Amino acid sequence: MLRLGRREFDAHEPVIMAIVNRTPDSFYDQGATFRDEPALARVEQAVAEGAAIVDIGGVKAGPGDEVSAREEARRTVGFVAEVRRRFPEVVISVDTWRAEVGEAVCEAGADLLNDAWGGVDPGLAEVAARYGVGLVCTHAGGAEPRTRPHRVSYDDVMADILRVTTGLAERAVSLGVPRESVLIDPGHDFGKSTRHSLEATRRLGEMVETGWPVLVSLSNKDFVGETLDKPVKERVVGTLATTAVSAWLGAQVYRVHEVAETRQVVDMVASIAGHRPPAVARRGLA
């Protein structure tokens, strides 16, 4: 059982996490949800399309203008509070690596801290424990936040992913984070080449076998673009193909831009796997 905020999810229940960027320079939407009203409209649409989680981020993942902790908090804290007021049942996640920002958004009502940079600030897990919220434990290959990988190598990329993510997860639980609220993430693109991300996808079942719920953040990423030689706006098909493979291998949470399309993919895979009945089953019965 995965428990986040007020919600509980069965082991085979796919969960959609919708991306809501509070940045003016996000790689995919170029700041479309930087202002409050478009961002709130995005949350409303995502929930209507089947997202159980919204992931709010105040700093672009890639290189760019410096964003201080104060500015990151300014972009996220008030918005978290407003989303909590308007959507009491939605799980609110905040994408941050900074403990001080984590503290502020938990005070405002966040249910989950999405630590995409692999525990670079050890205090973030302590914040999650103190507030009893969930934590995403990600493999970033030891990369510093907002840096791109350069000639990264691993003897065995999945072995490193397993060592780091399960280590972070066990540390979180030892600090007091509820075990049922901890997820692990292979960190596609983070501290990895395209070949590393493809291998991480191919071997995702090894993460699932650890027993920790697995989150994948695949949406329109560079490894998809490089694999198919497609620019950012033409990566949806590749993303959905990767999503289907990840779903078949047992991933549970999907951090995405395209909510409705992802919902259909994961529901279809769940039905093929026998975990979900068809929505309608009239064929051959009339």
Catalytic residues: 221, 255
Residues 6+ apart with CB under 8 A from 111: 4, 5, 6, 91, 92, 93, 133, 134
> Can you tell me the distance from the alpha carbon of 224 to that of 235, in angstroms, rounded to the nearest whole number?
6
> Can you tell me the distance from the alpha carbon of 266 to that of 191, in angstroms, rounded to the nearest whole number?
27
Pairing mode, strands 2-4 and 7-9: antiparallel
> Can you tell me the distance from the alpha carbon of 32 to that of 42, in angstroms, rounded to the nearest whole number?
9
Assign 3-state DSSP to the chain and report helix, strand, coil percentages, each to 5.
45, 15, 40
Nearest CA-CA partner of 18 in 188, 219, 238: 219
Inter-residue contact 57 to 110 (CB < 8 Å): no
> Can you tell me the distance from the alpha carbon of 213 to that of 204, in angstroms, rounded to the nearest whole number?
11
Q: Which two tokens stand for residue 229?
A: 């030689």
Query: H-type helices in the chain, by residue range?
Result: 36-48, 69-86, 99-108, 123-131, 157-175, 194-202, 204-208, 222-228, 236-249, 259-273
> Can you tell me the distance from the alpha carbon of 233 to that of 56, in angstroms, rounded to the nearest whole number?
21
Residue showing tokens 């972009």: 75
